[in-house]
A and B are shown apart, each in its own frame.
Chain A
Amino acid sequence: MPSADPNAMTSDLALVTAIRSDDQGAMTALYDRYSPIVYSVALRVLQDTGAAEDVLQDIFMQLWRNPGAFDASRGNLAAWLAVIARNRAIDALRRRRPESDIEDVVVSVEHDLASEADRSRTMDKVRGALQAMPAPQRSALEMAYFEGLTHSQIAGKTGEPLGTIKTRIRAGLLALRKVLAV
């Protein structure tokens, strides 16, 4: 988000509150701020621009219809939208109806993601942690998260024992937590 953006000064919470009062300008500002995140996540999962656009449209329409679904006290908007985008994209990938309402998604992030700079700093750490992981560990984590595969499916796909897959995924998450704690 460039600093010249006049909307950058308006907090996420203020925008969501304005949307509750039918403010289409606030909705536009929120879309401009977060549509790249939602679209990128959906595209990463679905690998199809048309399907990713459908997920993008669906999520922002739901936010427009029910802005109260985002609870600022229980999560950060960027992380919340990213998780919803991932879940909806996995649902679309599996051609199934959405498994949870957006209201039910709670994301507890202990890192400061309020500004673009904060987010960028945290993302550098996460990317660093991913790059530092052994390839099979990173791959198992990504297959589970971005392809929505169960641990049995990952074991079937890689030919590794179930226990190995479980251990790799947990070790990957522990490595991520360790880097974020620094």
Chain B
Amino acid sequence: MSVHEQFAEDLALYALGSLDGAECHALEKHLDGCASCRRELELLRGDLSLLALTTAGPKPPARARQRLMSAIANEPRLPVAAPASERQQRFWWTALGWPAFRWAATAALVVVCVGLLRQNSTLRQDLASLRARFTDQGSKLEQVNEVVATLLDPDAQKIELVAVGNKPQPRGKAIYQRRNRNLIFFASNLPPLPAEKIYELWLFPANGGAPIAAGLFRPDARGSATVVNPPLPEGVEAKNFAVTLEPESGSHESPRGTPVIVGVGE
């Protein structure tokens, strides 16, 4: 390897992302001024990419393909940036002589003018298309906002229908999206809170880890309550949710109070 020998081992670790502390800082300082070590780093990263390519595992499930294609179909495209290589190609004309450059510049100007006229027409069409898409998206967003506003409006009447003759029981519904850490929880028919008590929502991780506090809440006079997007850690798969009755300050480490409602799965 054509590299400063005193940095050779650290360079290998750095390529792996395994160098830390003062050694990492010292190497980065050296790399700033050493082209041969920078080149060696690129080669090491290339070698390591081959290590990644050796992993042989099962193919992704068909649902992953479906999920991606649905997401792509539903996502409007933004204007795409040119590739990094194109962005870096500047001052190419400096390789030509000045006469050649003048002719080339004149020809290029004509081509550019024609191109600009065409581009103008295309851009107008794109703009009309984007306006139509924007209007459509705006309309959909308005509908979604109305639905959410209705669901969350404390003044909205929330009437639960139960079998005739049955007394309404405390109920809850948690809608949880692990990927974005979104959680919406609705509860109804909760008993009024005793003095110095509060309800607390808990997320029970699928990996058997400790329950995670997902918000304190008080029901309204009709026993209804909503919890929307409490702070949650990333990527936790939920096995279940539960609501407990806790001291007014909550029990943030683990549920200590009486369970009131627990999930039954879907």
A contacts, CB < 8 Å to B:
20, 22, 24, 27-28, 31-32, 35-37, 39-41, 43-44, 49-54, 56-57, 60-61, 64-74, 78-80, 82-83, 85-87, 90, 92, 95, 103, 106-111, 113, 119, 122-123, 126-127, 130, 141, 144-146, 148-152, 154, 166-167, 169-170, 173-174, 176-177, 180
Contact = CB atoms under 8 A, between A and B. Distances in A.
B223 to A, nearest CB: 35
A126 B57 contact: no
B204 to A, nearest CB: 17
Contacts of A36: 57, 59-60
Nearest to B78: A65
Contact of B64 (A35, A70, A107): A35
Given A144-B18, A169-B16, A180-B50, 16 more contacts: A22-B77, A36-B60, A39-B58, A61-B71, A69-B84, A72-B83, A83-B45, A108-B42, A108-B43, A109-B49, A123-B54, A144-B16, A148-B17, A148-B18, A176-B47, A177-B43
Contacts of A180: 47, 50
Given A83-B48, A110-B43, A169-B18, A126 B53 contact: yes
* Interface hub of B12, B50, B81 (most chain A Cβ within 10 A): B50
Contacts of A92: 235
Contacts of A66: 80-81
* Interface hub of B10, B21, B55, B57 (most chain A Cβ within 10 A): B55
B260 interface: no
Q: Which 8 A-B pairs have the closest CB atoms?
A: A40-B57, A82-B52, A79-B49, A39-B60, A71-B84, A108-B42, A170-B12, A144-B18
Contacts of A146: 55
A44 B20 CA distance: 24
Contact of B50 (A22, A24, A28, A79): A79
17 contacts: A32-B65, A50-B237, A67-B80, A68-B86, A69-B84, A72-B85, A79-B53, A82-B49, A109-B46, A126-B50, A141-B16, A151-B13, A151-B18, A166-B12, A170-B12, A173-B47, A177-B43
A66 to B, nearest CB: 7
Contacts of B209: none
Nearest to B82: A68
Interface string B90-105: 0000000000000000
Given A24-B73, A43-B57, A151-B18, A145 B48 contact: yes
B20 A150 contact: yes
Contact of A152 (B20, B46, B81): B20
Contacts of B235: 51, 54, 92, 95
B148 interface: no
Contacts of B10: 166
B266 interface: no
* Interface hub of B1, B17, B19, B86 (most chain A Cβ within 10 A): B17
A54 B48 contact: no
Nearest to A174: B1
